[in-house]
Chains A and B, each alone.
Chain A
Amino acid sequence: MITPGRTFLVCTILLSWAWLSGNAESHDLRAQPLDENGEPGLQISYKSGDREFIEIAGLKTDKLVHFQNSQRKGDLIALRTNLPSVENISSMFGRHEVVNGIVSFYPQFLLQAGIPYYLEIDAELLSASTNSLVYTFGLHKEDQEAVTEVAAVYPSASVLPSNLLKFYIHFSNPMSLGDVYSHIQLLDTNGKPLELPFLELGEELWDMESRRLTLLFDPGRIKRGLKPNLDEGAVLEEGKSYTLLVHDTMLDSKGRPLRKSFSKNFSVSSHDTVSPNLYNWKLSPPQVETRQPVTVIFPEPLDEALLQRVVSIVNEDGQEILGELSIESHETIWSLTPDEPWKSGTHRLKAQTILEDRAGNSIGRPFEVDSSRPSEHYPETKFVYLPFEVD
């Protein structure tokens, strides 16, 4: 066990630990005993290559017989992230092997750079020492330059409806998950952070690559008549200005902070309760045998992510036309430049009815359906179409 008298030595070793592990390129690090001398003849090394393991050489044969027959291998040779006396921490998961008088410990998981590891060898395995001995080593963590930044935020306009439902925050590299909401704030005109403006979900709403975060406003404050809405009102008030702030403390997937904080200033317009209506869209058909884009102009900005995914052009046979999609003018213009020249005939713009505007009103239904107005009709189909002729 570690005695209090060893504290100074531990500190010294921790201070010099980065230097000790500076030999990382060789993939062979000698662990240093916390006691001045350690066990004579005992050599403990971290090795990596095809596999990562800790090699313990120099244990006497009679001790190895005892070890090989023991059901407590993980107690006799334990790799830990803390000093054994400091925390009651179990040994790291892994497997022990004994080959040619050498014990190898294969950790189940790759070791983490930048933290110390401690290998404790029980006194039962030692000849000279009557106490357990601890050896320490660490993998050097390279200083990493902060390069990741917020690449885009949608909606991109600077005037947003008071019942805005979500932001999409795009990052230039994959990000770390787990505590995103502590790095993001919504500030009022005076720079004061609003309390809990967003729906904080432990699961967090990332895309597969962890490069885009969906930030939903607290729906309890958007939905009219609910207690949070009655008590506090909507998060955003018409006529006021706000700042979305993403702090540079947010970490990317390599553990680097952002290159700089990001802020988006915006002002707030009125409540948007109207669903997007296909018949208000202005479609400009292309000319046959050209690769002119087909362009659709919406009377209001629509949800950027859904515009990317649920709008397409199909030909008379229902085949999707391949091409380059472009979303411009603060998500009010959608266009497709085909890979191949247009053929004559009837084409159709095809949109899923889940396509939403910035306040969550979809083609299929408004965010809130007012049941006191039962005469309003919304399509019950999954798709809606806007035909146009190419000639």
Chain B
Amino acid sequence: MFKKKVSATIVALAIAALFCASAQAAHHKSSNSVKLTSSGSIAFGPDGILFVADQKAAKIYALHTGDTEVAAHAKTYKIKDIDAKVAGVLGVSADQVLINDLAVNPISHNVWLSVSRGKGEGAQPVILKVNPGAKISALDLNNIKHSQVAIPNAPEDKMSGSGRRAQNKRMSVVTDLGFVNDQVIIAGLSNEEFASNLRSIPFPFKKADEGSSVEIYHGNHGKYETHSPIRTFVPFDFGGDVHIVAAYTCTPLVTFPLSELKPKAHVMGKTIAELGNRNRPLDMVVYSKEGSDYLLMANSARGIMKVETLEFDTLPGIKEKVADKEGTKYTTIEGWQGIEQLDLLDSANALVLQKSESGALILLSLALP
């Protein structure tokens, strides 16, 4: 038997409503300190602005990194034992470092890492910059120009304010974060209900503008329709018509137009590939090479997948039972094993966080295939 006190009063609800309203307001501060409670997914926006998902605080921060010097020449990375090096500057053993995400600044081509120093009590979020010479520096969160926005929850998901309902264990995990067309796109997954949503928040953040939240579904072969949380996504421009290419937690690769992200929309992704079993999509990028566009997907089961995008907008979508490799065409690049994180370094190179068989992590630039 499990017992718990439940309580709420009008006063408490009013306080909760007030809290929610203020929490949802965006705060603009020219400069002030930022106190991250966690650092998860990160993505670069314009002008060296780094978006950071602080899921414990249910906030997205836009941090002005000041990393705006245009890369004068191509950079290459080959930093072995990056986890040990990060552990070194943070003064802990390597087993106490979690590299949660990486992002390349498209202006400077510097690599930024979202890191947890520690895994348990006293764990601290840190944002690090790494240059090709393996020099690691921490983003100083004291006196940093920034803005922030709450990732809104429905008010009834908030604590009542009385303290007696403080057992609310619901959290929304940010599984990926992206920036496109002046919008921050946030894919989330709840630790309770399976309903999934994709949120779009205009940037610069506007006061009390919580953006739109859409429910994402998967139409399975025209018969079954299910909620489908997004594990990772990447914006893709079909000649001016921006789409989201997303990998669902149930593995299909889907597309839908960005324009469908409107309040209360019911968005059904068009399945363009099924990835098969034991295949967890981890990260994606899109790039152009020799006049064609491609999608690269890091996944847990095989070498990285290079997907042709030519037919993304013309394919009818997979509606019938598929054999392996039906849908859009892809090749597997076996040489790229153990890729855990992936971003574009420049127009010709990818930047990856690769885990070797021994478990060591290397930060590496690789020519786009």
Contact among B122, B175, B274 for A227, CB-based, below 8 A: B274
Contact for B1 among A166, A228, A326, CB less than 8 A: A326
Given contacts A178-B116, A325-B4, A371-B222, contact A93 B90 (CB under 8 A): yes
**B5-13, B17-25, B105-113, B330-338 - interface stretch:** B5-13
Contact with B along A352-377 (1 / 0, CB 8 A): 10101000101000011111100000
User: What interface size band does chain B fall in?
Assistant: 35 or more
Q: Which chain A residue shows the least CB distance to B91? A: A92
Q: Is the CB of A115 within 8 A of B93?
A: yes
Asked if A225 meets B88 with Cβ closer than 8 Å, knowing A81-B93, A251-B120, A303-B192, the reply is: no
Judge if B329 is at the interface, Cβ distance under 8 Å: no
The size of the chain A interface, using a CB distance under 8 A, is: 94
The stretch among B70-78, B163-171, B201-209, B238-246 that forms the contact with chain A is: B163-171
B189: A residues at CB distance < 8 A? 201, 203, 205
Given A202-B100, A371-B223, CB of A208 within 8 Å of CB of B56? yes
B124 interface neighbour in A79, A109, A195, A201, Cβ under 8 Å: A109
Complex Cα–Cα for A165 and B226 (A): 13
Contact, CB under 8 Å: B224 / A324:
no
Given known A-B contacts A205-B173, A206-B171, A111 and B91 have beta carbons under 8 A apart: yes
B interface, over-half SS: loop
Query: Is B220 a contact partner of A368 (Cβ separation < 8 A)?
Result: yes
Complex contacts, B9 vs chain A, CB 8 Å = 319-320, 322
A202: which B residues are within 8 A, CB to CB? 100, 282
* Interchain CB contact under 8 A, B96 and A112: yes
Tell me, yes or no, whether B289 is within 8 Å of chain A by CB.
Answer: no
Q: Is the beta-carbon distance between B6 and A223 smaller than 8 angstroms?
A: no
Asked whether A328 is an interface residue with its Cβ less than 8 Å from the other chain, the reply is: yes
Residue interface mask B107-142, A partner, CB < 8 A = 1: 000000000110111111000000000111010000
Q: Mark B204-231, 1 if CB is under 8 A from A, else 0.
A: 0000000000000011111111111101
Residues of A within 8 A of B321 (CB): 225, 230
9 A-B pairs with least C-beta separation: A253-B120, A89-B88, A207-B169, A176-B120, A228-B277, A220-B250, A322-B7, A92-B91, A205-B191
15 chain-A/chain-B pairs, Cβ below 8 angstroms: A80-B88, A82-B84, A91-B89, A92-B90, A117-B91, A174-B120, A201-B173, A202-B282, A203-B55, A225-B224, A228-B250, A336-B6, A354-B195, A369-B226, A370-B224
Question: Which A residues fall within an 8 A CB radius of B?
Answer: 79-82, 87-93, 107-112, 115, 117, 152, 165-166, 174-178, 195-196, 199-210, 212, 214, 216, 218-228, 230-232, 251-255, 303-306, 308-310, 312, 319-320, 322-328, 336, 339, 352, 354, 356, 360, 362, 367-372, 382
